[in-house]
Each structure stands twice: as structure tokens, then as C-alpha cells.
Amino acid sequence: MPSGLTTAFIYTPRFLEFDYGPGHPLRTERLELTYDLISACGLLALPSTRYVEPEPATDDELLVFLTPDYLKVLKAADTGDAPPGAFRYGLGTSDNPILPGIFRWSALVAGASLLAMRLVESGEVRTAFNISGGLHHAGPGMASGFCYINDAALIIAHLCRRGYRVAYVDIDAHHGDGVQWAFYDTDQVLTLSIHESGSTLFPGTGFVNELGEGKGEGYSVNVPLPPSADDEIFLWCFNEVVPPLVDAFQPDILVTQLGIDAHRTDPLSHVGISLGAFVLAVRCLKDVCDRWVALGGGGYDQRNVPRAWTAAWAIMNDREPPVLLPESFLARHKGIELRDAAFMDAPAITDGMVKARAWDEVREEVGLLKRLVFPRHGI
């Protein structure tokens, strides 16, 4: 392991060569916004930081997780025309449209996460961040929820082949179902997901009784949040569950999905946390494992994504997020309608009966996890 804090930021302008199409919630522009804000804050010029451009994942690398028939269909869809049977693989839906370049873009994102994994595994860096990654819904043979290749599950599958114990922590508003199901029957991977309840949000999974099976029983952990959850509830659930379980599991490598769609202004979820709560969770994750592969994830309000992931990158480099957005960034991106130049927002705190019911719900769920899961890990 290198001395000091050494990090790698994985990015390429080629990420912007693909577009999900007009009206689709997932905009690749958010990646450019994040890169520009990180650069404007001087966080790519640190002596301990590396900027690395990825290459697309190869077929052999992808086949560690993907089924051969799905890979064949996804490659055929790269022309923008639907190959026979595409719909059976989740392709051609409003969430996962068939567009020119879809395979090339997905393979590039997967390659970026594999690069992050290799840099961390080899000890070249302690932490690597691929903001384009975290596409956690896809399965081995199916696209789902804007995700064509599940890069998180892919790199975990590679790490498992090499004998590593992996903890996967997902704080996206949507349950990390594709990763959970991929490792549901193994004790080599601990998956923890804190998300809005599947009763009110896609993909409709991630309930507290989804605990794993066989050797994996007790290694799948979910904390579904009520839609009214705020900073206090989110952080209480996070602190009660994530640090003690990861500490007990003692992973060789930590993989995280840092979606910011649980923010109160995000249009695709109902949970209402602030950037401050997100930052506190990231600070905690930085301390739970010496080797960390960080991935992006959801986030559909263009004002929040660059702030959140720039703050995360600052924390990875032992820096504080700035107080104000840099003037150079504001001048370049006038079109995103920022409310003000403040980097962070106010805390998100609710009260009343709705808050009281939310507390009752999460305390019951966390209590159940402590009874059913914690003893399996010696807690």
C-alpha cells in the first residue's frame, strides 16, 4: 500500500459521446459537470491524486459476470436497431432504450470500474472513484433501471475470483437489487443497501427480510427507509448498521455506490436528505476499510450531482468541500439554474406525526436486523 493518501479519479470525455435520448432522466452531462467542478476546485491537481482515462472492458472481462447470450444481444443492439428477442433481455423499454453506441458506452463504464478495481487491488492507490459507475440494477442476463451492465457486480465478481472478501455499501435511493441477487448465496460478499422502501419506489425490492440464503444468509442487509425519511433518520440508520457490520466482516476491499438521488430535490425519489447527510455518510465510509473502490450511481437533479461527488472526492483526499462554488464553474454552467453559489445546503429535518411514524418504522427494522443478522457476525 502506498504511503499517505493516494487516490485515482477515473474519467474520460468519451463518457459524453453517448446520450440516453431526449426526456430520459439519466443525463451523461452530470458527469461533465462533476469533472468540471472537481477541476475548478483544484482537486485534480493534488500531489496525491492521479487522473486516469479508462478503456472499454473486453468481452472476456465482461463474461465474468454477463451471460454469453446477453452479451451477444447487447453488442448487436449497439447499432441502435433492436435485435431479435431484445425485449426478453430488458432492452427496448423506456428505461433502457436501444440507441446507437449503447454497448460501447456500457463497456466503457464497466472498463472504468475495472480500472478503478485494478488500481486499488494492486496497491497503486488506496481509493479510486469512477463517477460513471454504480449501475446497480442490471443482472447477468438483463438490463434494468437505466443499467445495461452492472459494473459494481462485475468488479465484485472479479474480486471474488481472486479470493477477496468484499463489502458493498449502497446509499442510492433505489435498492441495489442487481448486486444483492448476484451474491445472495455467498458469505464472501457482504451487501448493505440503505434506500427508499420498495413499497414506494423502483425496483420494489430491498426489504429487511431479504437476508441471503445458504452460506449467504445474514450477508444481505437492507434498511428500507420510509418516503418521509430525513437527515436524522438516514444517518441514524446508517450509523447503526453500516460501520458495525463492515467492521465485523473485515473486508479486504470496500466497494460503494454513492448515488445522490435520496436528496430532497431529486425528481425520482421521495426520501429527503441534504448534501450534509450524504457527506457525513461518505466520511464514515472513508474510515471503514483501507482499500476503497467508489462508484457513482443515481442522481437526477443536475444541481446536486456535481456538488455531492465533488464533496466525496474532497473527502477521499482529506480535503474539505469549498464554502462556495467557484466563479469559473458558475460562469461556464449558467444553464443549470443554480439557486445560489453556496456549495452545501441546509439540513433536511422534518417533524410531526409523519416523522414519529418514520422513527417507529426504522427502529423496528434496525431492531430486527440486530436480532437476525448481527449475531451471525459476532456483534
Peptide bond before 203: cis, by omega within 30 degrees of 0? yes
Distance separating alpha carbons of residues 199 and 195, to the nearest angstrom: 11
Distance separating alpha carbons of residues 265 and 261, to the nearest angstrom: 8
Q: Determine the number of helices (DSSP H) and then strands (DSSP E) in the chain.
A: 11, 8
Q: Which residue has cell 443482472?
A: 139
* Angle, CA 13 vertex, CA 11 and CA 16 arms, to 5°: 110
- Cell numbers found for residue 310: 465533488
Distance separating alpha carbons of residues 67 and 55, to the nearest angstrom: 21
Contact by Cβ (8 Å): 313, 283: no
Contact by Cβ (8 Å): 245, 192: yes
- What residues does 189 pair with on adjacent strands? 166
Distance separating alpha carbons of residues 82 and 86, to the nearest angstrom: 6
Q: What is the DSSP string of 231-285?
A: HHHHHHHHHHHHHHHHHHH--SEEEEE---TTBTT-TT----B-HHHHHHHHHHH
Q: What is the DSSP string of 78-94?
A: GGSSPPTTGGGGTTTSS
Backbone angles phi, psi at 283, to 5 degrees: -60, -40
Residue tagged active-site, from 136, 137, 158, 175: 175
**Can 175 be counted among the known catalytic residues?**
yes
Distance separating alpha carbons of residues 268 and 195, to the nearest angstrom: 13
Nearest in space to 304 (alpha carbons), one of 356, 262, 357, 334: 262
Nearest in space to 270 (alpha carbons), one of 237, 305, 300: 300
Radius of gyration of the chain (CA): 19
CA distances from 229 to 207, 234, 329, 366 (A): 16, 6, 32, 14
Enumerate the active-site residues: 175
